[in-house]
Amino acid sequence: MEPIERAATVRYAAAADLPDALRGADALFVYDFLSRALPSAWPAADTLGWVHIASAGVDPVMFPELRDSDVVLTNSRGVFDAAIAEYVLGLVIAFAKDFAGSLRLQQQRTWRHRETERVAGTSALVVGTGPIGRAVARLLRAVGMSVAGAGRRARRDDPDFGTVVSSAELTDHVADVDVVVAVAPLTEQTKGMFDARAFAAMKPGSRFVNVGRGELMVTDDLVSALRSGHLSAAALDVFEQEPLPPESPLWTMENVLISAHMSGDVVGWRDALVEVFADNFARWCEGRPLRNVVDKRLGYVPSMS
Amino acid sequence: MEPIERAATVRYAAAADLPDALRGADALFVYDFLSRALPSAWPAADTLGWVHIASAGVDPVMFPELRDSDVVLTNSRGVFDAAIAEYVLGLVIAFAKDFAGSLRLQQQRTWRHRETERVAGTSALVVGTGPIGRAVARLLRAVGMSVAGAGRRARRDDPDFGTVVSSAELTDHVADVDVVVAVAPLTEQTKGMFDARAFAAMKPGSRFVNVGRGELMVTDDLVSALRSGHLSAAALDVFEQEPLPPESPLWTMENVLISAHMSGDVVGWRDALVEVFADNFARWCEGRPLRNVVDKRLGYVPSMS
């Protein structure tokens, strides 16, 4: 933060201090991106022109007052792409090779040979065609999977996905897919899109990976689809409620892999997030166009295409 | 086996029946490749001209009487390559993203965010430059790792490895490597090559993957290298003694991932193994050259290059 501290008065604020810190501020860097402190502090934002968030998803700050204001919103697009793609690929292989089963057998000192699955030749639908979804698609393709995307606009000949189907018609396009990966931004349109109807449309025995936002899925519906055996497994890095409450049935389901909202957080990620902000800060000071400007109507940074 | 049963008298034998079945037989298909029954049954092999083994490694049948005989030995080269490569890539990502740690935390219903590592940009040395090692190298490269090989003959410009260093000088080439993958054939030269000296030469914090043969490593030395923290983790699919005995310290080491000699055994592998034999059987009947002929002096099928 040194370059920024040299050029501006920087106030560091926890949630309780946010209203005071916000008063008279020209720009806000939301570093704790899951903080819910901003809406209630918003009336103090008397001179604010720019909010930058240390995440790819901007849903935590899409409250009406900010959304409808003239305040520019930018995100940290790009920081997490490659790391999340590796994470998803690892999960897909972990399913195919039953790494979780091996670890449980190891804990019981039990030697049990099982047959595994190939990954190449299987198929994935990546729901979300932003930079993270694109990185996921490229990496899954690199190991021989056939990959399509699901986004706002159906199209062919996408450079990363080939075919992109319409997210709104998801249930028409999941019947033959081995792994469905949720990495869409959380908006009014995508909230709860993975519900009982969507899971029922998926291929029997298929798997679900959520590295986007917990609110993309209806957790109870997912639990039912897993318990019935219709879905064979799920890997969840995000949840409707985080931290995942101890009473959640997900914790003890053997066909569920849980991690703590960390798929993109590789060593050095905090520095990378500050660098993205610092770059935009320099642009802002010099009156140059900001990077990663969110279309607040859409709820994400539109891709250039 | 139907095409073979049509063309020949086929005797199916368990270990106890092997001497009787072997008497007068022209060819032997060693389907249980870990069986140790053949050496003691060998005197009954009065008319044997060809032995085929349902594995890539031929070490279980490299006893002196077969090795020094005129009997042709072929293996199942090719069946396991791609599956093992996926398995190794999955293990490398599982290390980087600490999937095992996530599973243990899940079992305790504990939410704990950790930073993960990138895989791209890290390095691997694949010890063994046969088709399995080549498939591993290609897949690790596909996700952005830098990969070299270690084989019998040092060289540059290998199509899959780029650089191949000499296995005999392994300790000179592991100091900067993040992951060492053992997939060499088990021979007099490679037996015990991963010993205290080799582990000591590896980069502090590096990881070791063995999908080749347990006897490539000195298990006690590996345990020491892991306990001291010099190596940060190991993933072992093969062991000096299989099944791994319940009293092995490896079972309870948190930085060890154990699986039951299954990295290449994808659904359909048994059929694939029979197909390889059936193809060679047809060649043998017709007097055409057999595929996958083992150089019994080397202990493996030499690559074409």
Judge whether B201 and B194 are in contact, CB under 8 Å. no
CA distance A118 to chain B (A): 6
* Residue type (1 letter), A269: W
pLDDT, tens only, B81-137: 999 999 999 999 999 999 999 999 999 999 999 999 999 999 999 999 999 999 999
Assess whether A65 and A203 both reside in one domain: no
pLDDT, tens only, B196-227: 999 999 999 999 999 999 999 999 999 999 99
Average pLDDT of every residue of chain B: 96
- Identify any residues that bridge with A198 across adjacent strands, giving them in sequence order: none
* Residue type (1 letter), A278: A
Structural domain count, chain A: 2
Q: What mean pLDDT is predicted for residues B265-287?
A: 95
Count Cβ atoms within 10 A of the Cβ of residue B252 and give its class: 0-12 exposed, 13-18 middle, 19 or more buried: exposed
Residues of B in contact with A102 (CB under 8 A): 257-260
Assess whether A21 and A151 both reside in one domain: no
Assess whether B37 and B147 both reside in one domain: no
Assess whether B141 and B247 both reside in one domain: yes
Q: What mean pLDDT is predicted for residues A94-100?
A: 98
* A197 falls within a domain: yes
> SS3 for A115-145, per residue?
CECCCCCCEEEEECCCHHHHHHHHHHHHCCC
Assess whether A95 and A106 both reside in one domain: yes
* A175 falls within a domain: yes
Judge whether A190 and A184 are in contact, CB under 8 Å. yes
* A305 falls within a domain: no
CATH number of the domain within which A281 lies: 3.40.50.720
pLDDT, tens only, A183-222: 999 999 999 999 999 999 999 999 999 999 999 999 999 9
- Identify any residues that bridge with B164 across adjacent strands, giving them in sequence order: B149, B155
CA angle A123–A129–A135, rounded 5-degree value: 70
Minimum mean pLDDT range among A259-268, B1-10, B46-55, B247-256? B1-10
Q: What mean pLDDT is predicted for residues A251-264?
A: 98
pLDDT, tens only, A289-299: 999 999 999 99
pLDDT of residue B305: 41
Assess whether B61 and B98 both reside in one domain: no
Task: Give the whole-number percent of chain B exceeding pLDDT 70.
Answer: 99
Biggest CA-to-CA distance, chain B: 65
Among chain A residues, the shortest Cα distance to B114 is held by A262
d(CA A305, CA B248): 57
Q: Do A106 and B257 count as a contact with CB atoms less than 8 A apart?
A: yes
Assess whether B115 and B34 both reside in one domain: no
Assess whether B85 and B50 both reside in one domain: no
CA distance B161 to chain A (A): 17
pLDDT of residue B303: 80
* A137 falls within a domain: yes
CA distance B248 to chain A (A): 9
d(CA B62, CA B57): 10
Q: How confident is the model at residue A57 (pLDDT cuts 50, 70, 90)?
A: very high
CA angle A131–A202–A162, rounded 5-degree value: 35
Q: What mean pLDDT is predicted for residues A104-111?
A: 98
Does A305 score more than 90 pLDDT?
no
**Complex ipTM > 0.90:** yes
For residue B152, give every residue at least 6 positions away whose Cβ sits within 8 Å of its Cβ, in sequence order, or none: B129, B166, B167, B189, B298
Assess whether A160 and A15 both reside in one domain: no
From residue B26, alpha-carbon distances to B45, B51, B63, B115, B284 in Å are 9, 9, 19, 60, 11
Residues of B in contact with A112 (CB under 8 A): 260
pLDDT of residue B80: 96
pLDDT of residue A101: 98
Q: Which of A119, A211, A247 to mutate to test the interface with B (most CBs of B within 10 A)?
A: A119
For residue B246, give every residue at least 6 positions away whose Cβ sits within 8 Å of its Cβ, in sequence order, or none: A109
Judge whether B180 and B205 are in contact, CB under 8 Å. no
Among chain A residues, the shortest Cα distance to B116 is held by A266
* B294 falls within a domain: no
Assess whether A17 and A155 both reside in one domain: no
d(CA A140, CA A134): 10
pLDDT of residue A304: 58
Residues of A in contact with B266 (CB under 8 A): 115-118
* B293 falls within a domain: no
Does A53 score more than 60 pLDDT?
yes
pLDDT, tens only, A211-225: 999 999 999 999 999
Q: Could you tell me if residue B42 is left (phi over 0), alpha (psi between -120 and 50 degrees) or otherwise beta?
A: alpha
Residues of B in contact with A261 (CB under 8 A): 113
pLDDT of residue A50: 98
Q: Do A113 and B261 count as a contact with CB atoms less than 8 A apart?
A: yes
In the numeric block, which tokens belong to residue A157? 């000949």
Does B304 score more than 80 pLDDT?
no
Distance of CA B17 to the CA centre of its chain: 29
Q: Do A260 and B102 count as a contact with CB atoms less than 8 A apart?
A: yes
Q: Based on the residue annotation, tell me whether B242 is a catalytic residue of this protein.
A: yes
Assess whether B205 and B192 both reside in one domain: yes
For every residue of A241-272, DSSP letters joined together read SSSPPTT-GGGG-TTEEE--S-TT-BTTHHHH
CA distance B113 to chain A (A): 5
The stretches of chain B forming alpha helices (DSSP H) are: 2-7, 18-22, 38-41, 64-67, 81-97, 99-107, 131-142, 196-201, 219-227, 269-286
Residues of A in contact with B139 (CB under 8 A): 143
Q: Do B115 and A243 count as a contact with CB atoms less than 8 A apart?
A: no
Task: Give the whole-number percent of chain A exceeding pLDDT 70.
Answer: 99
* A300 falls within a domain: no
- Domain limits at B234? 81-258
Q: Based on the residue annotation, tell me whether B113 is a catalytic residue of this protein.
A: no
Closest among B214, B258, B207 to B95, alpha carbons compared:
B207
CA angle A299–A160–A155, rounded 5-degree value: 70
* A85 falls within a domain: yes
Assess whether B109 and B30 both reside in one domain: no
Judge whether A30 and A38 are in contact, CB under 8 Å. yes
